[in-house]
Structure 1
Amino acid sequence: MSAQLTGQDSLPSSAAVTTFVGRRKELSEARATLTRSRLTTLAGPGGVGKTRLGIEVTQRFRRQFNDGTWMVDLGSLNCGAPISPAVASTLAIPDQSHRTALERVVTYLRDKELLLFLDNCEHVLPAAVELVDRVLATAPGVKVLTTSREPLNIAGETVLPVPPLTLPSTNDELSDRNLEQFESVAFLVDRARNVIGDFAITPQNRHAVIELCTRLDGMPLALEFAAARLQSMSVTQLLERLDQRFRLLSRGSRTAQPRHRTLQALIDWSYELCSPEEQVLWQRLTVFPGSFDLDAAEEVCGFGDLSPDLILDLLDRLVAKSILLTERTGETVRYRQLMTVREYGAERLGEGAAGELHHRHRDCFLRRAETMVAQWCSPRQSEFILRARTERHNSMAALEWSVSTPGELISATRLAVALRHHWVSDGYLSEGRYWLDRVLDGHDDAAATPERGAALWVVSWVSLLQGDHEAGAEYLTECRSVATALHDDGLLAHTRHWAGLHSLFTGDLTTSISQYERAVTAHDRVGDTGASLTAQFQLGMAQVLHGDPRIALATCDRAIEIASEHDELWNRAYALWISGICHWMLGDHVAAHAAATEALTIQKHFQDAICTALTIELLSWVAASTRDFPRALELSGAAANVWRGLGTTIGAFGPHIEQISQASARRVRQGLDPAHRDSRPFDQRPLSKEAAIEVALTEPREGASTDADIAPLTRKEWEVAELVAQGLTNRQVAQELVVSPRTVDGHVGRILTKLDFTSRMHIASWVSSKKSG
């Protein structure tokens, strides 16, 4: 139950036989916190590695305390039991008086200088609070380190959340060896080698290793259990059976506490420490497949015995107990459950309750999506798109449930249609096509309903952007029949609108212009300003490709003026892109560059994938026209990355614009130095959409570092290294580059690995030497 951790004494046997993996950041934070605070709590969910981290911290601190570092494992105590006797026993305090154990501990520690490590406090919190509060008040030379699933919540406590081990992404372009820079992978490999001495990551198992670590949330205890199973299974076989995780992951150490011997027992322990209301909310929150916000939790889970006004307090308590994790972006807070915790709660949820929850969940995200459509032409566009992007997993789960549940087809159709700007702006064309086709398959082909008609024009739009022009035309033919049968002027306007896009993309510019002019009039007649603006910039595209740049420029100017009146950005950015093409065709390269840059500046925060790719293409054409061929090549490479992410090409947008793109590419190849004509920038190191925008908006500086100068780092890694050298933390770097902190963690890890460095100070010194050289 206890152990003394001093310079002379050994660690507990459970710690001595395993390697400590990763946790560089947490160790550094714990060291800093223990230096300035007398009470530090390592808080986190069960199995996240709080005890192992605490042991490592106390071991590294043992020489700083004259009276040593002492560990008291409270895990074997019954819930609510006093802890003072266990502490007194560990400290070997004589029991020769009538005083209570608490009094003897407080008296003994009064003149001591030591670190007291209380492990596993969550089930004995009242007793732990009483003892720690008394010790801190009477023993100035004592510092206390605790581990708990929830904080002690007493004055002077500093809480250090212990997160899961860092995870790789299936999108990371890393060698098998470099995968081990991620803590979860390194941990799994280390524990697997205890079972299979020659275990290694190979091309055959690398994706299974990544997915296993991800689906186990990077939780050390779950990874320990998984590694034990590798004695008789491959990683792939284990992954295939992970839906039975509570039975499969049941081979813990026989010397561990009972609740740490199986994954089921571990979560049982957390569940039993919750109140009945907390348990009910835990169960209900499992309807969210990813993260969620407070409003959604109140709307979806606040019914029956749990009224909406109780949800905030219960969420707070589940966060405190490490059942929920928080994600913070600026002033926005979202919550999520680890996958294992979510699956446990789902198993506890009754079938009837699950149906009610899924219905409420779908209605919540249907309402949000239809609000986005109703208020689209407004200053809230970027907010709507960001929310749709953030809520994607919830929307997809709502669609799946609605399509699979009898009687829910109409709602499923409404949701698939309402997400249209998400499908198009965020580049989920294939996913949007899949869901729209799936809901249409459920409708009678002869049915003339508003829902089916809307789904037909939206799927036509998506198909045309994918380059599937024939399917797009077929959908429009059906849509026209529905609109005619319903005498629906709004639906007829959309039929003309997307017929104009079909004609544009198939090269019939004259017909396209005629269709768009009629569509703009029809949209204006029914009061659909957003659709009218979209038709106007597309009309401008048809006009400029038809060879009428001045007419197209006037069309775009009108669209930009109306968009500005509504503080609307999505159509404005596209109209600016077309304006840039007009200026470029008229030979005004400065105005073309300015219009394209303004459009991309909008996209820096909006991140519409199609507009981004098209605008970067335009900047490449401008660079080629001004004979800056290396820059043109760089920009075309950046655009190619965005097209790849979209799953389409500029060829989908019609033969005329494709011919312009091909002509520019030929001009670049002819103008380049022969040694660089076959180069394909970014093919070996793909760019994200955000990075492509950054490349396009960052003009090369005179004397800027070349790729050779900054080798072996990539451009993005060099940017991160420069910011690290300025003294910024990973979170500050993430804010500066508008990426997630986890992405920056990965970049910093790769920089350290590539340069064979061990600290950020080394990175700063290296950057300084490169710049001075």
Structure 2
Amino acid sequence: MADSKYREVSGRIYFGPFCLSPSERLLTRDGQPVDIGGRSFDLLLVLTEQPGQVLSKRELVKRVWTDVVVEDGSLRFHMAGLRKLLGDGEHGARYIATQVGVGYAFVAPFERIATTGGATQPSPADLVDSGPQHLSGTSNLPPRLTHLIGRERDVQLLIDRVVNTPLFTIVGPAGVGKTSVAVEIGHELLAEFRDQVAFVDFAMLENPAVVQSMIAGAMGISVQSEDPLAVILGHIRDRRFLLILDNCEHVIAPTAEIVERIIDESPNVRVLATSREPMRVRREHVHRLDALRYPEDPADISLDRLLAYSAVQLFCERASAADSALNVDEESARLIADMCKRLDGMALPIELAAVRVATHGIIATARQLGERFSLAWTGRRTARPRQQTLQATLDWSYDLLPEAEQVILERLSLFVGPFAIDAALEIAADAEIGSDEVAVALDNLTSKSLIAASRARGAGTYRLLEMTRAYARAKLRARGQEYFDAAAQCHASFFLNELEVATEQDEDVLQDARPLRQQLGNIRSALDWSFSRDGDSKIAVRLAAASAPVFLNLSHLVECRTWCARALSELDDTQRGTAIELELQGALGISLMFTRGNSPAAGGALTRALEVATELDDRWSQLCMLGRLHIFHERIGEYEVAASYAQRAVGIAKRIGESEALGVAYSLSGISHHLAGDQTRARHDLELSLENSPPSERGRTIRYGFDHRNRSAIALARTMWLSGYAVQADVIARQTVHEATELDHPVTQCIALIWSLAVHLWVGDLDAAEQALQAFTECAEVNALGPYIAAAGGLRGELAIQRGDANAALSALEESLSRLRAARYELLTTTFSLALTRGLMLGDRYPEARDLIDATIVRCVANGERYAMTELLRVKAEIVRRVDNDFAASEAILTEAVHVARQQGAKAWELRAVLDLADLQQMSGRRDQARELVEVVYADFPVTDHNPDIERARRLLTTLAS
């Protein structure tokens, strides 16, 4: 065999009584040549190249039998012969260790002596007699990564501190990248320690008794005594040396004892260890290696920003290395970022997923990861066996645990996301495992990096990494369905109790959305099990009712709708007519209304909820359901029915006798008056509502389904504009939208935006209208609010009409009207019909415009929606004048429009109608009459107002006066 196929080995290697001379291909024992076969010699040479490290059978075969194909049997045969030749196992001598099913490692302490000129080499006896040996300057560090991603700060911090710190332990969970960091630091500090750096990998070591020998072997120290540690200390006591101990967790006890002796007796030695738990010895410093950074919400992040996250960088680099043709665009980067989030930023699973991308593509890999967290994906063939799959990595950690900790870890896998210690004690403890034992195990599992503790001040929570949770849950299921169901029932019961107790004790428990969002995974998991075939239907119904406010709070309306409908279908007779049914019916009604439209099912659910609340004499719930029914009937165009609910709400609120109740009731009443066309009473009731309403808070908002204070304010903005106060209306509208955005409640935000957009259009601020429309569209689409999504197209058409562009606007308006009517959403149809009429007029389609405006007027008279009647009549008058050239008829219609506006207190509509009427009078030569008519109305408007109607009035007055 040619020596070139091996890494160059200079000098001779002494171990025990043996001397290995690679250049001469000679093995001697006590100075006498040993008859050794070529394959056995090659095996011994390869093993001594990386002392202390397990070499896989595949690697050994590849290195030794390069020219032929052999079976594992040949390797075992030659390895057995080599052991026999060395006397492995005789009188306690150990040279080669076996890792069952994996490979072999050279574990004997040895000395490597460089060859210079033709000098003779010392014999083992010479070494013993010569005192402390000179440690080899040849480091056994594994190769460093070409590019270590996301660890620059960790590496620099440790480089700066390791040189002056006796012991630094890098602690972190499996797969986080501890070894890569340690190897990088070792290479960076080679010059600092003058190549006196030794790397010991305990990963494949099964016998703790060999720890000292492995350390000695990695350091190149020949040990011929029964106390290897004494020999090690003798060599390094006065030397500057860096010892790197990798994967110490399974031999933590003997390693800790050795390390403590070394740092106590060798002041210039520095130890850098990696482990899943600290060694807990004197003078130890711990560096916890966190996950790589990934975006929490990649949806709205640009490509450049996504690629700046270290987890995404690692994924892209590994995936590109596996597939040079890979193209990562913005959408692909978002999928990668989402996978990195699911993988908790852990380096090893990210690398495994990245390799998967090379064969399956980004989309398929993301889908597979989302469907089932895969623990069996394989990585590099050259990786350590326990790092080639997540399953192997976690098997390693799990098998090191005592049985009680294994059981507790499995039960804790039921938690999705963070959990407190009280929750852990409730679910993990039972008759056999007490609470004290769970508390101790929780601490131990945290120390071993199988559970992560939140480091945020005051958090007091724990969580399992996703891959650990998936692994532990599989172990829990493997114990049997009955065992799993018992644990899952404890989990569901715990969160049911938490939600019910919290709601009873504190009405504002839903005020802060952050803790709710953190527990959403647990609530979903509990619901999934409770409604499953093996679940508990009684827990399921109660849990659905208790969690409905959570889903409403977080605007997960589709989920709310699904769980409530399912619970109502399983409601038993004892639960009908109770607070449970009330909560389920009310939540189902409002979630149906805002996601699928104003269906009879939504109205039926809300009506039933009101019936139950009335039977229970629950006045606050009655007020809540009256508010939901009020907006429901407004949306389907039954304004008089809605007004009757508003009056009933006022009566309930007076009986409750609290300001908040009056604020809600007068909000309903004020909005009904506004839509009916009575702006004077509307302004009175809306201002009364705001006076009585407390500040907007999520707890109150969710109780009613939307924020009544915010809705009152935006309705007041519209009322103020109609009453002739455009500046105040604009200010109120902008402030209300800002408050709705801060509230972070999509339904409330959409209500504020959709009505503020009308104010911006009336004022003539088309840029502000465009911004409101964009925000409204995004909010509706992100939160799957179906009726509002349908409305967005109509609003865009209305804005286009205002800009004078009718071509694209007409189809958008027609489609939107069709979709809104299919969803029984009539609240915007008058506004859109007006816009569509103007669009038809811009296209000279006056007969169609006349038919549409006449039909709209008839509908508004019938259903009581009269706030826009003046504008409808004004547009009709223009059509009559243009189509029939009938000035008298047009003037009569405009006169009626002015009269309606004055009755309603709608000065803004009145001004528009008066200006059109004055134009007609001017055309017929009645300039003085026209000027007097405009002057009377114009005088009612503040001189500071600047909007298209005021400017038009000023121009007309100037023309009439000239």
TM-score (normalised: structure 2): 0.59
Number of residue pairs aligned between Structure 1 and Structure 2: 659
Matched to 1:382, the amino acid is Q
In the alignment, the residues of structure 2 paired with residue 236 and residue 327 of structure 1 have an alpha-carbon distance, to the nearest angstrom, of 32
Q: Which residue of 2 aligns with 1:458?
A: 587
| Match of residue 643, structure 2, among 495, 513, 516 | 513
In the TM superposition, residue 452 of structure 1 has moved relative to its aligned partner by 3.9
| Match of residue 488, structure 2, among 353, 358, 363 | 358
Q: Give deviations 1:396-443, integer Å, cap 9, x for gaps.
A: 111111222467334323322333333333221122112222323445
Q: Give deviations 1:574-633, integer Å, cap 9, x for gaps.
A: 4155236426643385698579758956964x5333334445667777777888765664
1:249-398 matched pairs, under 5 angstroms:
249-250=377-378, 253=381, 256=384, 258-349=385-476, 350=479, 351-375=481-505, 377-378=507-508, 380-383=509-512, 385-398=513-526
Q: Which residue of 2 aligns with 1:644?
A: 781
In the TM superposition, residue 118 of structure 1 has moved relative to its aligned partner by 1.3
When structure 1 is superposed on structure 2, of 69-78 and 276-285 the one drifting more is 69-78
Contact 1:165 1:183 in 2 (8 A): yes
In the TM superposition, residue 568 of structure 1 has moved relative to its aligned partner by 6.3
Secondary structure at 1:40's aligned position in 2? Answer: strand
- The 1:427/1:139 distance shift into structure 2, 3 A limit, reads same
- The 1:364/1:531 distance shift into structure 2, 3 A limit, reads farther
1:25-44 matched pairs, under 5 angstroms:
25-34=153-162, 37-44=165-172
Contact 1:370 1:418 in 2 (8 A): yes
1:494-643 matched pairs, under 5 angstroms:
496-519=626-649, 521-522=651-652, 537-546=667-676, 547=679, 548-560=682-694, 574-576=708-710, 578-579=712-713, 581-582=715-716, 585-586=719-720, 587=725, 593=731, 597=735, 604=742, 607-615=744-752, 633-634=770-771, 636-643=773-780
Contact 2:548 2:564 in 1 (8 A): no
In the alignment, the residues of structure 2 paired with residue 303 and residue 37 of structure 1 have an alpha-carbon distance, to the nearest angstrom, of 44
- The 1:608/1:199 distance shift into structure 2, 3 A limit, reads closer
In the TM superposition, residue 382 of structure 1 has moved relative to its aligned partner by 1.9
Matched to 2:273, the amino acid is T
In the alignment, the residues of structure 2 paired with residue 526 and residue 412 of structure 1 have an alpha-carbon distance, to the nearest angstrom, of 33
Contact 1:576 1:595 in 2 (8 A): no
In the TM superposition, residue 269 of structure 1 has moved relative to its aligned partner by 1.4
- The 1:120/1:614 distance shift into structure 2, 3 A limit, reads same
In the TM superposition, residue 266 of structure 1 has moved relative to its aligned partner by 1.9
Contact 1:299 1:364 in 2 (8 A): yes
Contact 1:577 1:595 in 2 (8 A): no
| Match of residue 606, structure 2, among 465, 476, 498 | 476
In the TM superposition, residue 131 of structure 1 has moved relative to its aligned partner by 2.9
In the alignment, the residues of structure 1 paired with residue 789 and residue 573 of structure 2 have an alpha-carbon distance, to the nearest angstrom, of 28
Secondary structure at 1:112's aligned position in 2? Answer: coil
Q: Which residue of 2 aligns with 1:86?
A: 214
In the alignment, the residues of structure 2 paired with residue 204 and residue 637 of structure 1 have an alpha-carbon distance, to the nearest angstrom, of 21
Contact 2:140 2:218 in 1 (8 A): no
In the alignment, the residues of structure 1 paired with residue 701 and residue 287 of structure 2 have an alpha-carbon distance, to the nearest angstrom, of 41
In the alignment, the residues of structure 2 paired with residue 153 and residue 626 of structure 1 have an alpha-carbon distance, to the nearest angstrom, of 71
| Match of residue 104, structure 1, among 231, 237, 240 | 231
In the TM superposition, residue 149 of structure 1 has moved relative to its aligned partner by 0.6
In the alignment, the residues of structure 1 paired with residue 802 and residue 453 of structure 2 have an alpha-carbon distance, to the nearest angstrom, of 49
Between Structure 1 and Structure 2, whose CA radius of gyration is higher? 2
1:220 aligns with 2:347: yes
Q: Give deviations 1:99-156, integer Å, cap 9, x for gaps.
A: x333333343333334321111111212222233333334443332211011122344
In the TM superposition, residue 394 of structure 1 has moved relative to its aligned partner by 0.9
In the TM superposition, residue 322 of structure 1 has moved relative to its aligned partner by 1.0
Secondary structure at 1:70's aligned position in 2? Answer: strand
1:122 aligns with 2:249: yes
In the alignment, the residues of structure 2 paired with residue 395 and residue 642 of structure 1 have an alpha-carbon distance, to the nearest angstrom, of 25
In the alignment, the residues of structure 2 paired with residue 545 and residue 156 of structure 1 have an alpha-carbon distance, to the nearest angstrom, of 76
In the alignment, the residues of structure 2 paired with residue 524 and residue 403 of structure 1 have an alpha-carbon distance, to the nearest angstrom, of 42
In the TM superposition, residue 395 of structure 1 has moved relative to its aligned partner by 0.9
Contact 2:245 2:272 in 1 (8 A): yes
1:419 aligns with 2:556: no
- The 1:431/1:234 distance shift into structure 2, 3 A limit, reads same
- The 1:115/1:634 distance shift into structure 2, 3 A limit, reads farther
Aligned sequence identity (%): 24
Contact 1:319 1:325 in 2 (8 A): yes
In the alignment, the residues of structure 2 paired with residue 154 and residue 190 of structure 1 have an alpha-carbon distance, to the nearest angstrom, of 39
In the alignment, the residues of structure 1 paired with residue 260 and residue 482 of structure 2 have an alpha-carbon distance, to the nearest angstrom, of 46
Secondary structure at 2:286's aligned position in 1? Answer: strand
In the TM superposition, residue 67 of structure 1 has moved relative to its aligned partner by 5.1
Secondary structure at 1:158's aligned position in 2? Answer: strand
In the alignment, the residues of structure 1 paired with residue 654 and residue 518 of structure 2 have an alpha-carbon distance, to the nearest angstrom, of 32
1:102-251 matched pairs, under 5 angstroms:
102-167=229-294, 171-173=298-300, 180-192=307-319, 195-201=322-328, 213-226=340-353, 248-250=376-378
Contact 2:144 2:184 in 1 (8 A): no
Contact 2:654 2:662 in 1 (8 A): yes
Contact 1:449 1:482 in 2 (8 A): yes
- The 1:37/1:533 distance shift into structure 2, 3 A limit, reads farther
TM-score (normalised: structure 1): 0.72
- The 1:408/1:126 distance shift into structure 2, 3 A limit, reads closer
Contact 2:663 2:692 in 1 (8 A): no
In the alignment, the residues of structure 2 paired with residue 580 and residue 486 of structure 1 have an alpha-carbon distance, to the nearest angstrom, of 33
In the alignment, the residues of structure 1 paired with residue 764 and residue 361 of structure 2 have an alpha-carbon distance, to the nearest angstrom, of 56
In the alignment, the residues of structure 2 paired with residue 421 and residue 441 of structure 1 have an alpha-carbon distance, to the nearest angstrom, of 19
Q: Give deviations 1:285-338, integer Å, cap 9, x for gaps.
A: 111233322232222223232333443332221111111123344421332222
Matched to 2:420, the amino acid is D
1:399 aligns with 2:537: no
Q: Which residue of 2 aligns with 1:435?
A: 563
Matched to 2:204, the amino acid is S
In the alignment, the residues of structure 2 paired with residue 472 and residue 204 of structure 1 have an alpha-carbon distance, to the nearest angstrom, of 37
In the alignment, the residues of structure 1 paired with residue 297 and residue 281 of structure 2 have an alpha-carbon distance, to the nearest angstrom, of 42
Contact 1:603 1:612 in 2 (8 A): yes
Matched to 1:611, the amino acid is T
Contact 1:581 1:592 in 2 (8 A): no
In the alignment, the residues of structure 2 paired with residue 513 and residue 236 of structure 1 have an alpha-carbon distance, to the nearest angstrom, of 52
Contact 1:448 1:486 in 2 (8 A): no
Matched to 1:554, the amino acid is L
Indicate the RMSD between aligned Cα atoms, in angstroms.
4.6
Which runs of 5 or more structure 2 residues have no equivalent in the other structure?
1-50, 54-111, 113-134, 805-962
In the TM superposition, residue 280 of structure 1 has moved relative to its aligned partner by 1.1
In the alignment, the residues of structure 1 paired with residue 431 and residue 486 of structure 2 have an alpha-carbon distance, to the nearest angstrom, of 11
| Match of residue 50, structure 1, among 166, 173, 178 | 178
In the alignment, the residues of structure 2 paired with residue 413 and residue 396 of structure 1 have an alpha-carbon distance, to the nearest angstrom, of 13
In the TM superposition, residue 57 of structure 1 has moved relative to its aligned partner by 2.2
Secondary structure at 1:469's aligned position in 2? Answer: coil
